[in-house]
Structure 1
Amino acid sequence: MRDPRPASGMRVDFTAVIYEWSARRNWFFVDVPPEPSADISDRPRMPRGFDSVRVTATVGATTWSTSIFPGGGTYALPLKRAVLQAEGIGEGDEIEIALVVHDG
């Protein structure tokens, strides 16, 4: 994976458990905790599809650009198959995540 480390942005570090989305098999996510989700939601930004927010995510040694999506009071971070494989992680694993939230 490429290393798109941004120069600035709100940083959020958290630990979460990987789960499979019940509506679609083989789609895996972690939830951003409620407090940082509220902070992210409160930041002004241009509207994007599905109210998504652009982020750079890091799990272990893997960094990638993606979006987080709101739902149920928190944001969900999708985990690409390549990330799961590169880090040797899967459903039910508790992982540490670093997000940089982009304003634009």
Structure 2
Amino acid sequence: EMEKLEKYLGGVKEMKKLPGAMFVVDPRKEHNAIAEARKLHIPIVAIVDTNCDPDEVDYVIPANDDAIRAIRLIASTMANAVQEGRQGADAEVEETLAEAEAEKVEEE
């Protein structure tokens, strides 16, 4: 039983903070993950097929969650958007630090 828990939840215990959002391919199959995310107030982005309840998802992507090509396209688009967002956030932090350093030098 402990091995099973470690296998499925081992990555979660290594997290330093809760994720800003959760991406789900099939909400019907991942109903436990959705329930946990709801309890923790984690926004849920999901591919929702006609056999799923869209009310359980915060951001619905209407698509066939059984079509491999559709899943691959949507997942890669999501991954690219996350990477672009992180790069933009990193650049913004660097710019803010540079401005603060420049102000500090001007004060001296």
**Range of TM-score over shorter length:** under 0.3
TM-score with structure 1 length normalisation? 0.21
Larger % of helix: which? 2
TM-score with structure 2 length normalisation? 0.20
